[in-house]
């Protein structure tokens, strides 16, 4: 009897007779399909032997010695018309291409502009305790799980989740749309780095003084602000006794610092970003409803970023896998150079002390643990579909466990090491400005585009250090941008294969659309638009999506099935640690972030209330933001409802049918099918 083979994900014919074979498909009515579950008819299906390995002697005779370089493979599937479809799927040219790609994606701007500030804010060295626990119990298991799923099913997020759990197939659409939304603003932030990089090729950095056309009367250099503080503090009563001197100084400093803030005296770096990179002039009365004119310099920088992305990705992983050799490794060269330079700056040791000085009392604050969990999750980046897309181009038996361990370790070490660099410079900034570190320490774009550039501007050979720093930001951002775009491209190409065949056009159209969406971000008040997208595009929606991922794999697909899949790939089943974290700790980890985030949620505004460029977002913008956030995760319940409606039987039966994985569905529809997940020659039984 001739057997049918449904390849998952690859089949090679061993005897060359597949063209003459007839592929039969046994069709069952929905009522019979329901009966298969209720009476366990699958037990009556004859056992099919699948050849999973061949001897070393046969391997030497049939094929040459395996090389490190991996080429494209054929993926053979059976479509709804009972016809064989064969598609060519790329594989990474070198194993290191994959490793550097996921490292480049995981290590991004958040490692530079968020982790150091959180560490300082939440107890210095004590913050490492909740952070390391979050990495081990939450971040690493989710990171590893997504790599496993991508490598096993060799599909992007949309089709992968449809095969894992049809009921929650909406997860794939949700994470793809979230990645799509994130690219709307993330590439704009990268373009700021390019803008600053171009501006750094000058003898005097344009944000170092107040002698430019965009500067206002409130502009004040570091030296002038220091003199203001000293004069203010010298007004103290010289008759106070020595025992009160220290307390008096602290009291006076706080008063004078508040006076400096009240007068809204701003730095040249602040004015450069808000009045030159953007055009937030008070007299213009700009807002979300009135963004002003287009800043053409910004627009050109954004266009260059998309051109870089296009020519790095238009040929697939063949090109992007080579580009990451520079973009993933270069930041570490710059980070090392900046660390060496910062070590010799005045005040650097003071900055390091503030950074790592442990305050164990902070560990009793629940917000510290939430910050650690959030930083872990968003730094490693599970849930955006990127890891699944990258892993789908791996060899089926690739040691993805090793790569997951290496990437998570590199990401955490990079975060901690970057904190030393940042706080060395903040200590230096504190020293030359006369202000406490708590008054100069910031996070986010304010740190990397205002505070840090101002510190660099006061150093000898400032343009050289500025070029190094912004090149580092540029390469850090591009890596993550490649990952987000590849997640979308892979996911949609697996759903619509024609897009893979026309990849150059598809990528060009995608980035052209991104560019059009980015035009408002390049207007006079475009920063308001960027911040709104950043606040609502991904935070809650991606955590909710990954929460459903953990539930789908651990409780619906089942830990036994995933364990067998892992054994098929890597040779061994996962240990108890992975099972416990996937089933219990990861869902609690994600649920805790969602609940605490919703409890502590407040509407974000642009800047602080005391800032001269403060902007309060109107209520309607927050409503739009929430609609924007929910527009992605709404696919999860929508697809689930649709799937239940498409099944037959009572609600419980529909549910049981809807959670049945792809492999079992195919076996129930066609019991004689052999599902192969290996990449060796598969013999046709007769």
Residue 436 neighbours by CB under 8 Å, 6+ apart: 253, 257, 430
CA distance 393 to 72: 9
Name the packing angle between helices 651-658 and 30-38 (round to 10°).
90
The total number of residues shown for the chain amounts to 686
Torsion of Cα atoms, 187 then 188 then 194 then 195, to 10° = 170
Kindly report the number of other CB atoms within 10 A of residue 681's CB atom: 16
Residue 223 lies in a domain: no
Residue 270 lies in a domain: no
DSSP state of 155: S
Residue 508 lies in a domain: yes
Report pLDDT for 311: 94
Residue 621 lies in a domain: no
Report pLDDT for 96: 93
Strand pairing class (5-7; 73-78): unpaired
* 111 annotated among ligand-binding-site residues: yes
* 480 annotated among ligand-binding-site residues: yes
Beta strands per DSSP E along 607-681: 674-676
Residue 135 lies in a domain: yes
Report pLDDT for 86: 53
Report pLDDT for 56: 41
Report pLDDT for 672: 64
Report pLDDT for 38: 42
**Nearest in space to 386 (alpha carbons), one of 50, 105, 76:** 105
Report pLDDT for 125: 84
CA distance 26 to 24: 6
Residue 684 lies in a domain: no
* 379 annotated among ligand-binding-site residues: yes
* 107 annotated among ligand-binding-site residues: yes
| Run of H or E residues at 78 | strand 73-78
Q: Chain-centre distance of CA 298, in angstroms?
A: 24
Report pLDDT for 6: 33
Residue 202 neighbours by CB under 8 Å, 6+ apart: 463
CA distance 633 to 647: 23
Report pLDDT for 59: 41
Query: Alpha helices, DSSP H only, in 200-295?
Result: 222-233, 245-262, 268-271
Average pLDDT per consecutive 10 residues, the chain (686 residues; last block may be shorter): 34 38 39 42 33 40 42 50 58 92 92 85 86 92 95 93 94 95 93 96 92 88 79 61 54 72 79 93 88 94 96 90 92 92 89 86 85 87 92 94 96 91 88 78 79 89 94 93 94 93 94 96 94 87 91 93 94 94 91 82 82 89 92 95 93 93 79 54 36
| Run of H or E residues at 596 | helix 586-599
Report pLDDT for 362: 86
Report pLDDT for 7: 35
**Distance between start and end Cα atoms, the chain:** 5
Q: Specify burial of residue 378 (Cβ count, 10 A radius: 0-12, 13-18, 19+).
A: buried
Residue 370 lies in a domain: yes
Q: Is the dihedral angle over the CA atoms 200, 201, 203, 209 positive or is it negative?
A: negative
- Interior/surface letters 446-461, b for 16+ CB within 10 angstroms, e for the rest: bbbbbbbbbbbbbbee
* 106 annotated among ligand-binding-site residues: yes
Q: Chain-centre distance of CA 31, in angstroms?
A: 44
Please state whether 641 falls in left (phi above 0), alpha (psi between -120 and 50) or beta: alpha
Report pLDDT for 366: 81
- Interior/surface letters 403-430, b for 16+ CB within 10 angstroms, e for the rest: bbeebbebbbebbbbbbbbbbbbbbbbb
Given a contact cutoff of 8 angstroms between Cβ atoms, the answer to whether 682 and 14 are in contact is yes
DSSP state of 542: H
User: What is the domain count for the chain?
Assistant: 1
CA distance 244 to 322: 63
- State which residues form the domain around 401: 103-143+187-209+277-529+595-602
């Amino acid at each position: 009897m001739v057997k049918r083979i449904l390849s998952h994900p690859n089949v090679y014919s061993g005897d060359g007779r597949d063209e003459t074979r007839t592929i039969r498909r046994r069709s069952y009515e929905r009522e019979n399909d329901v009966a298969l579950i209720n009476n366990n008819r699958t037990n009556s299906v004859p056992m099919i032997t699948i050849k999973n390995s061949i001897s070393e002697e046969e391997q030497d005779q049939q094929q040459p010695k395996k090389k490190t370089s991996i080429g494209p493979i054929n993926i053979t599937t059976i479509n709804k018309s009972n016809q064989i479809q064969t598609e060519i799927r790329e594989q990474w040219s070198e194993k290191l291409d994959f490793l550097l790609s996921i490292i480049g994606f995981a290590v991004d701007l958040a490692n530079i502009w968020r982790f150091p500030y959180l560490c300082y804010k939440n107890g210095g060295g004590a913050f490492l305790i909740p952070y390391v626990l979050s990495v081990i119990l939450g971040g690493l298991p989710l990171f590893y799980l997504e790599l496993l799923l991508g490598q096993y099913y060799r599909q992007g997020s949309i089709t992968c989740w449809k095969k894992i759990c049809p009921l929650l197939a909406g997860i794939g659409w949700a994470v793809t749309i979230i990645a799509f939304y994130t690219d709307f603003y993330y590439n704009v932030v990268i373009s700021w780095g390019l803008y600053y990089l171009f501006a750094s090729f000058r003898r005097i950095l344009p944000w170092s003084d107040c002698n430019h056309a965009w500067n206002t009367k409130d502009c004040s250099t570091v030296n002038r602000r220091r003199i203001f503080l000293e004069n203010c503090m010298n007004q103290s009563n010289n008759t106070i006794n020595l025992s009160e001197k220290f307390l008096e100084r602290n009291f006076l400093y706080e008063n004078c610092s508040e006076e400096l803030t009240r007068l809204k005296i701003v730095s040249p770096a602040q004015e450069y970003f808000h009045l030159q990179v953007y055009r937030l002039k008070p007299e213009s009365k700009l807002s979300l409803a009135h963004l002003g004119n287009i800043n053409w310099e910004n627009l050109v920088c954004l266009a260059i970023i998309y051109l870089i992305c296009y020519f790095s990705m238009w040929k697939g992983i063949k090109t992007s896998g080579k580009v990451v050799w520079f973009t993933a490794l270069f930041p570490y060269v710059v980070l090392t150079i900046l660390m060496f330079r910062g070590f010799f700056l005045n005040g650097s040791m003071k900055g390091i002390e503030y950074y790592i000085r442990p305050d164990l009392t902070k560990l009793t604050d629940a917000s510290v643990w939430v910050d650690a969990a959030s930083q872990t999750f968003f730094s490693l980046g599970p849930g955006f579909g990127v890891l699944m897309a990258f892993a789908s181009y791996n060899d089926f038996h690739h040691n993805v466990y090793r790569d997951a361990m290496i990437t998570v370790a590199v990401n955490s070490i990079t975060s901690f090491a970057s904190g030393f660099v940042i706080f060395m410079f903040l200590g230096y900034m504190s020293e030359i400005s006369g202000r406490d570190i708590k008054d100069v320490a910031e996070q986010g774009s304010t740190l990397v585009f205002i505070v840090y550039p101002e510190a660099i501007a006061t150093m000898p050979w400032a343009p050289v250090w500025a070029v190094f720093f912004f090149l580092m930001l540029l390469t850090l951002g591009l890596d993550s941008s490649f990952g987000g775009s590849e997640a979308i491209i892979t996911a949609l190409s697996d759903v619509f294969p024609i897009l893979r065949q026309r990849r150059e056009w598809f990528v060009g159209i995608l980035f052209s659309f991104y560019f059009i969406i980015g035009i408002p971000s390049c207007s006079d008040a475009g920063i308001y638009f960027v911040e709104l997208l950043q606040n609502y595009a991904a935070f809650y929606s991606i955590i909710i999506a990954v929460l459903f991922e953990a539930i789908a794999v651990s409780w619906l697909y089942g830990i036994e099935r995933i364990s067998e899949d892992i054994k098929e790939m890597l040779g061994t089943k996962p240990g108890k640690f992975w099972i416990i974290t996937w089933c219990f700790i990861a869902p609690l980890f994600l649920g805790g972030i969602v609940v605490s985030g919703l409890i502590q949620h407040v509407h974000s505004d642009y800047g602080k209330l005391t800032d001269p460029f403060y902007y309060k977002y109107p209520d309607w913008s927050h409503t739009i933001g929430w609609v924007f956030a929910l527009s992605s995760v709404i696919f999860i319940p929508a697809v689930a409802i649709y799937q239940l409606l498409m099944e037959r039987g009572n609600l419980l039966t529909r549910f049981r049918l809807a959670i049945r994985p792809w492999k079992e569905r195919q076996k129930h529809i066609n019991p004689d099918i052999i599902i192969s997940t290996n990449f060796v020659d598969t013999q046709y039984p007769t």
